[in-house]
Amino acid sequence: MDFHYLFTIFFFFMLGERLLLADGFACNWGTRATHPLPPRIVVKLMKDNGFNKVKLFEADPGALEALGKSGIQVMVGIPNDMLANLASSVRAAEEWVSQNVSYYLSRKGVDIRYVAVGNEPFLKTYNNRFTQTTFPALQNIQAALIKAGLGRDVKATVPLNADVYDSGSGVPSGGNFRSDIHNLMVNLVKFLHDNGAPLTINIYPFLSLDADPNFPVDFAFFDGHATPVVDGSITYTNVFDANYDTLVAALEKNGFASLPIIIGEVGWPSDGAPNANPQMARRFNQGLINRINQGRGTPKRPNLPDIYLFSLIDEDAKSIDPGNFERHWGIFYFDGTIKYPLDLGRGRNLTAAKGVKYLPRQWCVMAPDADLMNPNLPERISFACTYADCTSLGYGSSCGGLDARSNASYAFNMYYQTMNQQRGACEQFQNMSVITRIDPSYRGGTCRFVIMIDTGRHEKARTSSAGKMNLGSVLAYWGVMMMALIVVI
């Protein structure tokens, strides 16, 4: 056979394989952490792992600075508590766009593509708190983008939870917008359509499984082991496809069959609940990545939408109102270390964060001679877990099976690390604790007694530390510090 013919076949085979695989991944970067990774390290972590799109939940200065000229496309978010002000004032919207979009685009080289107005503002649990302000805020932000000359390149959208639609028939073809917000959703969707913007939706198969003990477990995953759900001529083998196509049906019923959709959040937590563990998280996220690499959409929308994995790294200061799992969604731990292997395609595997600096290798644990029957012990454990993250101690979690002494040691250590191992922090427990240099982690590493990031050493390496830590992190950290001081006093 002619060599040139063989080369041509090989070339087109390789080209076809390259076109089949995704050019990059998208992720969410949350910054609700007491000891956040330096933004420059997070950006390098994303690039090393093939993430070229990121969604931020707020216009964090440190994150945006680090994303400048990185080649990563950005969706920058506006928190729900800002919606009322933006809804009532076009001027406020113009100032926000000027400070958080125009400035970073023109002065810092940040490739901002979307503004996310609010975050799941129509959740039923919010009891209509943001129902009246979201759409006007969206309109004002869009007007501000147009006035700034950015209306063509930067699109305003609203990340919504999948509870904004449902199906009366129980199958995707019966999908429609929730009755109590139907008119609002139609108006919002029309506005997005008229401005060439996508609808952003968050889909969480984990929450479907977590909320319903009778939910078929395999239907939450992508590997085809579930009993199929038949909807007319379409067969569904996983809840993600069924959920997405329920939204597609709702759009079709209301005259917006071709509106683009972005998946703003989808993922699986690795701790904090019986169904939240590294094995199930790996099963889900590997299946999701395989679909992205294959470019495979859903039965009603075969073309793959942008999918933002939730999330990149754990956040130990997030609210746990929905559940302890909220602090464990990352595919990386809080320090950028790998939780479980993922095949990213093209022979790539996950790469851990580089250049992370830690506090000294020492832990605060319950003293060997401390009495487990000490009447002050429960109160001291409660104190530690009020100001530090003890969610891994919950039922079904990675440290949920510890004995009483180890349980206390875990709580003491989390407090000690959250307090930056400061002098006196381990002495908070009334002679029941001691510092050790022997790692007390258990079960082959599944119950991790962490050592925190040394934020002080990272801060010294920056030219301007004040703008690098988000407000939530500062308040979370100093709130803990002040309460500890109050207790000491």
For residue 153, is it within any domain?
Answer: yes
For residue 460, is it within any domain?
Answer: no
Decide: helix, strand or coil at residue 32: coil
For residue 356, is it within any domain?
Answer: no
For residue 486, is it within any domain?
Answer: no
d(CA 73, CA 75): 7
The pLDDT profile of the chain, 489 residues, written as one tens digit per residue, is 444 444 443 434 444 443 344 578 999 999 999 999 999 999 999 999 999 999 999 999 999 999 999 999 999 999 999 999 999 999 999 999 999 999 999 999 999 999 999 999 999 999 999 999 999 999 999 999 999 999 999 999 999 999 999 999 999 999 999 999 999 999 999 999 999 999 999 999 999 999 999 999 999 999 999 999 999 999 999 999 999 999 999 999 999 999 999 999 999 999 999 999 999 999 999 999 999 999 999 999 999 999 999 999 999 999 999 999 999 999 999 999 999 999 999 999 999 999 999 999 999 999 999 999 999 999 999 999 999 999 999 999 999 999 999 999 999 999 999 999 999 999 999 999 999 999 999 756 689 999 999 998 886 655 443 333 444 444 444 444 444 333 333
Q: Are residues 15 and 60 in the same domain?
A: yes
Q: Please check whether residue 334 is in contact with residue 37, taking contact to mean a CB–CB distance below 8 angstroms.
A: yes
Question: How far separated are the first and last CA of the chain, in Å rounded?
Answer: 87
Q: Are residues 296 and 246 in the same domain?
A: yes
Answer with the one of 300, 318, 349 that is the final residue of a domain: 349
Give the H/E segment covering residue 205: helix 205-211
From 58, 65, 94, 120, active-site residue: 120
Count the domains in the chain. 2
Q: Are residues 444 and 343 in the same domain?
A: no
d(CA 388, CA 483): 12
- Give Cβ neighbours of residue 31 (< 8 Å, ≥ 6 apart): 56, 57, 58, 60, 63, 315, 470, 472, 473
d(CA 76, CA 62): 13
d(CA 169, CA 478): 50
Q: Record the tokens describing residue 209, joined without a space.
A: 């499984």
Decide: helix, strand or coil at residue 247: helix
Burial 397-413 (b: 16+ CB within 10 A, else e): bbbbebeeebbbbbbbb
Domain CATH for 324: 3.20.20.80
d(CA 311, CA 320): 16
Q: Are residues 287 and 377 in the same domain?
A: no
pLDDT of residue 474: 41
Active site residue 326: no
Q: 194: exposed, middle or buried (C-beta count within 10 Å: 0-12, 13-18, 19+)? A: exposed
Residue 167: closest CA among 237, 99, 252, 291:
252
For residues 102, 106, 109, 111, the Cα torsion angle rounded to the nearest 10 degrees is 40
∠ CA 352-465-66 to the nearest 5 degrees? 50
Q: Please check whether residue 79 is in contact with residue 60, taking contact to mean a CB–CB distance below 8 angstroms.
A: no
For residue 399, is it within any domain?
Answer: yes
d(CA 255, CA 343): 40
pLDDT of residue 138: 98
Residue position matching structure tokens 């299946």: 287
- Give Cβ neighbours of residue 116 (< 8 Å, ≥ 6 apart): 55, 57, 75, 76, 77, 78, 157, 158, 159, 200, 264
Q: Are residues 176 and 318 in the same domain?
A: yes
Give the pairing of strands 155-157 and 111-117: parallel
- Give Cβ neighbours of residue 282 (< 8 Å, ≥ 6 apart): 340, 341, 342
Active site residue 265: yes
Q: Are residues 156 and 268 in the same domain?
A: yes
Give the H/E segment covering residue 76: strand 73-78
Q: Are residues 283 and 428 in the same domain?
A: no
Residue 206: closest CA among 303, 271, 276:
276
Give the H/E segment covering residue 257: none
For residue 206, is it within any domain?
Answer: yes
∠ CA 11-15-16 to the nearest 5 degrees? 120
User: The domain containing residue 395 runs over which residues?
Assistant: 363-452
From 65, 265, 315, 326, active-site residue: 265
∠ CA 28-197-169 to the nearest 5 degrees? 80
Side-chain-side CA neighbours of residue 249 (13 Å): 23
pLDDT of residue 462: 54
Domain CATH for 399: 1.20.58.1040
Q: Please check whether residue 138 is in contact with residue 187, taking contact to mean a CB–CB distance below 8 angstroms.
A: no
- Bond prior to 311 in cis (omega within 30° of 0): yes
Q: Are residues 343 and 372 in the same domain?
A: no
